[in-house]
A and B are shown apart, each in its own frame.
Chain A
Amino acid sequence: MSNLLVAPFLDRARDQPGATAVVQGSRRVTYGELEQRSFVLARHLVELGATPGDRIGIALGKSIEAVVAVLAVLRAGAAYVPLDEQSPPDRQLSVLADCAVRGLVATRRSRQRLGWGPSGPRLGHAAAGACPFVVELDREPAPATGGRGERGDPAQPENDEAAAYVLYTSGSTGAPKGVVMSHRAARAFVDWAVKRFELGPTDRIASVAELCFDLSVFDVFAGLAAGAEIHLVTPDLMLRPPRLVAWLDEARITSWYSVPSTLLLLLERGDLARRPPSALRRVLFAGEVFAVPQLRRAMQALPAARFFNLFGPTETNVCTYYALPPALPAEATAVPIGWPCDHAEVAVLDPEGRPVTQGSEGELCVGGAGVMSGYWGQSALTRAAFWPAGTVSGLGPLYRTGDRVRQGSDGQLWFLGRRDRQIKHRGYRIELGEVEAVVAGVPGVLESAVVTRPDPEQGAGLCAVVVPAPGEKVTVLAVKSHCGKVLPAYMVPSTVEVRDSLPRTSTGKVDWLRLR
Chain B
Amino acid sequence: MSFESIRHFVVSEFLQGHRAEDLDLDQPLLSSGIVDSVGTMKLVLYLEQEFGIVLDSDDIASDQLDTVRSIGALVEGKLAARASGE
Contact = CB atoms under 8 A, between A and B. Distances in A.
B40 A495 contact: no
Interface in B1-42: 14-18, 22-23, 27-28, 30, 32-41
B9 to A, nearest CB: 15
Interface in A230-245: 234-236, 238-241
A90 to B, nearest CB: 12
A265 to B, nearest CB: 7
A87 to B, nearest CB: 9
B38 A458 contact: yes
B32 A481 contact: yes
B46 to A, nearest CB: 12
Contact of B34 (A481, A490, A497): A481
Contact of B41 (A240, A477, A487): A240
A241 B28 CA distance: 25
Contacts of B60: 235-236, 239
A489 B22 contact: no
B61 interface: yes
A481 to B, nearest CB: 5
Most A CB atoms within 10 A — which of B18, B23, B27, B44? Answer: B18
A498 B35 CA distance: 20
A475 B37 contact: no
A492 B36 contact: yes
A269 B17 contact: no
Contacts of B23: 477
A477 B34 contact: yes
Contacts of B32: 480-481, 484-485
Given A239-B44, A240-B41, A476 B33 contact: no
B57 A490 contact: no
Contacts of B57: 234, 236
Given A86-B37, A241-B41, A236 B61 contact: yes
B79 interface: no
Interface string A453-488: 000011000000000000000011100110111011
Nearest to A488: B33
Contacts of B30: 489
Contact of A498 (B17, B27, B38, B40): B17
A483 B37 CA distance: 16
Contact of A480 (B33, B38, B44, B45): B33
A487 B36 CA distance: 11
Interface string B47-75: 00000000011001100000000000000
A496 interface: yes
B38 A476 contact: no
A86 B30 CA distance: 9
A484 B27 CA distance: 12
B36 A489 contact: yes
Most A CB atoms within 10 A — which of B16, B36, B40? Answer: B36
Contacts of A476: 15-18
B36 A86 contact: yes
Contacts of A396: none
B34 A475 contact: no
Nearest to B43: A239
Most A CB atoms within 10 A — which of B14, B27, B32, B38? Answer: B38
B39 to A, nearest CB: 8
A106 to B, nearest CB: 16
A489 B44 contact: no
Nearest to B16: A495
A88 interface: yes
A481 B17 contact: no
Contacts of B37: 86, 235, 238-239, 489-490
A239 B36 CA distance: 11
Nearest to A498: B17
Nearest to A234: B57
Contacts of A497: 17
Interface string A423-447: 0001000000000000000000000
A492 B16 contact: no
A477 B22 contact: yes
Contacts of B36: 86, 489-490, 492, 494
Nearest to A475: B18
B27 to A, nearest CB: 7
A440 to B, nearest CB: 17
Nearest to A113: B31
A419 to B, nearest CB: 27
Contact of B33 (A234, A238, A426, A484): A484
Contacts of B14: 480, 494
A485 B18 contact: no
Nearest to A458: B38
A481 B22 contact: no
16 contacts: A236-B60, A239-B37, A239-B40, A476-B15, A476-B17, A477-B22, A477-B27, A484-B32, A484-B33, A484-B34, A485-B32, A489-B30, A489-B39, A494-B14, A494-B36, A495-B17
Given A235-B61, A477-B27, 8 more contacts: A236-B60, A475-B18, A477-B34, A480-B14, A485-B33, A489-B36, A492-B34, A496-B16
Interface of B: 14-18, 22-23, 27-28, 30, 32-41, 44-45, 56-57, 60-61
Closest 10 CB pairs of A and B: A484-B33, A489-B36, A236-B57, A484-B32, A476-B18, A489-B33, A492-B33, A476-B17, A239-B41, A480-B34
